[in-house]
């Protein structure tokens, strides 16, 4: 096993920020523990930044912007190629860090968390190659130019994946960045900063400041020299960032909460789609903002669905995340574990029927933040577990009588991040997908597509990530009249 904490400690990077091309000691002395959720032991400490640290990082990014924004696309693509190669070269170190700091099963860290993060860098590089930075409209030129210094705020649940989803397109666009990763899962970000440095990123183009939202996040969002903020997090955090950014009228891109529906149509192959739906809802222990945690099924097939969903949840192996046989490790942190337990109790108290799971740890696990994969049925629209984001391995099965009713239930939420549709008749499935108010819809469990734009309607945020649309978030549009005589 590769020990990421020892690696970072020996390199002297565990207690430093990456600013202006080098490792800098923080201005303050406050520190935060890094807790291994499998054991609940404190395994490391990181410094918490202050507004002064943010000021240093933003100043470095501002100085670097004029030159970096004018580099040729080929130069930026070459940097991203080196970053991509280094992520793949160090994927085991990164996977071990994710398992240690947020409990991802090592097999899942190796198969999803790290390789999908690398894909965001590759896609940003590839999209850069033929992106139309200048186009003609009559005698007018339409230019796409880097927006400037970007503050990037990333979450604890898909930490490296969300870092690369923002840093890749921002650098490709010609922006300079200041990154604030979650203080709850910070190790992977330090390893990523090492990769950025080794890849030869010019000083000031990429900067990293650790810290919490109310201090570092607020300082970044309100800073007069930050031109844009991109945040992935809770809806509450997104609102606070937008409020802090408003006085300086900067762009704010938000990828926030969700309560995604999975509409199982009457002609769907239940034996196929129910296990896939349960797996999608509980992927990453349900700690995914787009997880389809409301399964909408025909009432006449409810008993079949319950049996299949129970079997699927029972097949998961919850336990030591370093065991390669484990499919689901612990919940990432104590606060989230407590919320999941309270939401399961709310489901029971409000009359939902338990199919499998329930409160507490799985049998045989006496320590660690382990939750039981839980499936509820007979869930009504007014129940807490049908309306609030749980962010854990809890699935709510909801019955409908007509497809129109299913669509109504699916859209009866303040969120609109993702949605799923399953059905044998592809035209019928497409018709339902067209009526769902969500930023990304999956029909019949397709493969993940890093070029598919991702983002939300309603309180799930604004703006898009992934694909060319993800890079456009970091670009301004300038029209030059008379450019073409």
Residue positions annotated with a catalytic role: 255, 289
β-strand partners of 89 = none
**Segment (H or E) for 141:** strand 140-146
CA distance 95 to 114: 6
**Segment (H or E) for 264:** strand 261-264
Residue given tokens 């860290």 in the structure block: 109
CA distance 38 to 28: 30
* Cβ atoms of residues 343 and 394 within 8 Å: yes
Nearest to 456 by CA among 410, 414, 412, 416: 416
Nearest to 196 by CA among 183, 179, 213: 179
CA distance 15 to 20: 16
- Please classify residue 72 by burial: count the beta carbons closer than 10 Å to its beta carbon, then call 0-12 exposed, 13-18 middle and 19+ buried: exposed
149 token code pair: 């210094």
Residue 116 φ/ψ, nearest 5 degrees? -70, -35
CA distance 98 to 100: 5
* Cβ atoms of residues 406 and 296 within 8 Å: yes
In 352-457, the DSSP E strands lie at: 353-356, 374-377, 394-400, 418-422, 440-443
CA distance 48 to 239: 22
Three-class secondary structure of residue 373 per DSSP: coil
Q: How many CA atoms lie within 13 A of 457 on its CB side?
A: 16
- Cα torsion angle, 132, 133, 134, 137, sign: positive
Compute how many other C-beta atoms are within 10 angstroms of the C-beta atom of residue 162.
Answer: 26
């Amino acid at each position: 096993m590769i020990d990421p904490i020892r690696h970072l400690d020996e390199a002297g990077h565990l207690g430093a920020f990456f600013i202006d091309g080098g490792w800098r000691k923080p201005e303050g002395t406050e520190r935060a523990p890094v807790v291994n959720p499998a054991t609940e032991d404190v395994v490391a400490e990181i410094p918490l930044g202050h507004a002064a640290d943010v000021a240093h990082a933003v100043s470095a990014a501002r100085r670097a912007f004029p030159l970096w924004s004018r580099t040729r696309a080929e130069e930026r693509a070459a940097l991203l190629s080196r970053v991509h190669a280094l992520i793949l070269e160090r994927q085991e170190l990164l996977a071990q860090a994710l398992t240690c700091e947020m409990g991802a099963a090592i097999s899942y860290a190796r198969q999803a968390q790290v390789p999908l993060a690398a894909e965001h860098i590759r896609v940003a590089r590839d999209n850069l190659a033929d992106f139309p930075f200048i186009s003609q409209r009559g005698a007018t030129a339409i230019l796409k130019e880097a927006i400037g210094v970007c503050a990037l705020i990333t979450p604890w649940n898909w930490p490296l994946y969300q870092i690369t989803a923002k840093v890749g397109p921002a650098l490709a666009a010609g922006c300079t960045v200041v990154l604030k990763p979650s203080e709850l899962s910070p190790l992977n970000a330090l390893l990523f900063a090492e990769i950025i440095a080794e890849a030869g990123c010019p000083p000031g183009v990429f900067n990293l400041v650790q810290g919490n939202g109310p201090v570092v996040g607020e300082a970044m969002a309100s800073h007069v020299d930050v031109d844009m903020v991109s945040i992935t997090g809770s809806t509450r955090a997104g609102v606070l960032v937008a409020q802090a950014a408003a006085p300086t009228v900067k762009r704010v891109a938000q990828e926030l909460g969700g309560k995604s529906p999975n509409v199982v149509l009457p002609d769907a192959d239940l034996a196929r789609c129910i296990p896939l739906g349960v797996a999608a809802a509980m992927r990453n222990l349900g700690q995914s903002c787009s997880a389809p945690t409301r399964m909408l099924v025909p009432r006449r097939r409810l008993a079949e669905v319950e049996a299949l969903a129970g079997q699927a949840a029972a097949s998961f192996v919850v336990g030591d995340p370093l065991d390669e046989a484990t499919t689901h490790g612990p919940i990432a942190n104590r606060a989230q574990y407590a919320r999941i337990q309270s939401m399961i109790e709310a489901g029971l108290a409000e009359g939902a029927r338990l199919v499998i799971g329930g409160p507490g740890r799985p049998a045989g696990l006496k320590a660690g933040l382990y939750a039981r994969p839980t499936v509820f049925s007979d869930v009504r629209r007014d129940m807490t577990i049908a309306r609030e984001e749980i962010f854990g391995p809890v699935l709510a099965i909801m019955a409908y009588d007509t497809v129109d009713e299913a669509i109504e239930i699916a859209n009866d939420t303040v969120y609109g991040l993702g949605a799923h549709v399953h059905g044998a008749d592809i035209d019928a499935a497409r018709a339902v997908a067209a009526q769902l108010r969500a930023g990304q819809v999956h029909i019949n469990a397709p493969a993940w597509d890093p070029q598919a734009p991702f983002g939300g309607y309603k309180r799930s945020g604004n703006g898009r990530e992934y694909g060319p649309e993800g890079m456009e978030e970091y670009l301004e549009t300038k029209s030059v009249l008379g450019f073409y005589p």
